[in-house]
Structure 1
Amino acid sequence: RQPAGAAEQQAMIQAAAQAAVAAQLAQMPPPAPPSLPPVMAPDNSQIQVLRNAPAPQIAPGVQQGYQALNGGQLGAARQQYEAVLQQDAGNRDALLGLAAVAQREQQGAQAASLYVRLLEINPDDGEALAGLIGLRQGDVEQSEAKLKAILARSPDSGPVLFALGNVYAKQRRWNEAQQQFFRAYSAAPGNPDYAFNLAVGLDRLNQPKLAATYYQRALSLAQTAPAAFDRAVVQARLRDLGGATAAAPAADPAAPVIIKRQE
């Protein structure tokens, strides 16, 4: 019986050791997955290789058109955008660019038709709707409601925020206009028109120092990007604000930009 007892004791020791090892393994974290997990073949044994879709490329004509627009060469910009549209009639960038050219040339009817064309392609195109509302006076309440509906889906859309600010500015609701202009500028800080309208809003609210800062910012941005405001008017207003502290703004500071440009 003594050999049998020794065998049982050895078995118990082995079982206890295995239990201890199992307990330690259970407390260890699971192994990290490999950096590239293996591809599992489907049940039909056909291996499918998935490739990432290439990023959409901007047509060279659109880039050249924007450079011409940026340089004030409206005729060359129009030619480039129209050439792109001859190849791709629904090219959104070219349509927006051509609308921007039409606005700079004071051809509001043509710009409006281009925005309508974009809305026919995509009724939810916030930039096209904002541009159309900016061109047409219409019912301000209806325009405000439409823009707010778009912002509910795209709260950081610079063109829509800019258009809503203009709607408020037309009604002299300067507190609300300034808030929308600030949001638009925050969404696109490289846009000179957004900086200019923000400066106008601050000017109307008797904040001359901040207004001067954004007037200067607008002039600086206008050196490298198309702008719809009159630079001479901004420079004159900056001279008026040169020694301003808490003085009231002039009776009629620069009017906000209602024309919307291409992003």
Structure 2
Amino acid sequence: MDIFTAGREFVRREARLVESRLFETVFEGADAQGVVDALHGYQNPDGGFGHGLEPDKRCPDSLALDVEVAFDALIASGARDDDMVRRAVDWLDQAANADGAVSLCSPAVENYPRAVHITDWTYQPDLNPTAGLVGRLHTLGVEHPWRDRASAWCAAELAKGLPEDAHGMHEALEFLEHTGDADFDRIRDWLPKLAHFRADAASPEYGVTPLHFAPTPDSFWRPLFTEAQLEAHLDRLIEDQQDDGGWTLTWEPPGQSSTLAYRGIITVGALRTLKAYNRI
């Protein structure tokens, strides 16, 4: 069975509804409204998203991390639901501090199963996820007073220095792509200094790879990497497909359901990247 067919069968067999609808939209021409319909089940009355949309915590409360996953699904599918997004940004506005910064999670997660890395560090307003959310709103073409307020805060924070963690850098680049302040040489020089940046495709460790920064050949940040770097990580991505057709994790979600949910997310993402680079 070829890479794509095996991955498709894994998604059909094991993935959640939202990833299944996304797969159908991206690869089979299904109406993107199916993705929106699936996301509605995760949106709370307050406008935020929760209910473990990001599967590393099973908390039903609205969290910025879940809002980010919802935005990613909308962007990937090409779906538009202005009311859904506006309600989510209204919630971000309410959840933000005085400067507009938001945190990944809140202490509400402590009442529910969660991965060991979901601790109090995720309760602190930071560029991760604030900058990434602002960048995604630019991609979605959505204006909002919170976006303007948060943009000013992100710009001020980045003027002090770049993030020291690859996750934070990924979020910062989502923002910088839309600001006209893309200093490729500075960022390229900074990448090796980042914690959790997996530059070596052969490394077995958890990390953010060049393909996360440049998931398609026309990605804005593609010039940060050489052809050899990207090809090596594409080879590794193919090698990492499991016998069941899906891709596996390098961390421990809080349970079997969360593990399968995350494997569905990663599998759809891997297939999208391999397709974009003409590897499948």
Identify the TM-score tier after normalising by the shorter chain: 0.3 to 0.5
Q: TM-score, length-normalised on structure 1? A: 0.43
* More helix as a share of residues: 1
Q: TM-score, length-normalised on structure 2? A: 0.41
If asked which structure has higher relative contact order (CA below 8 Å, sep 6+), I would say 2
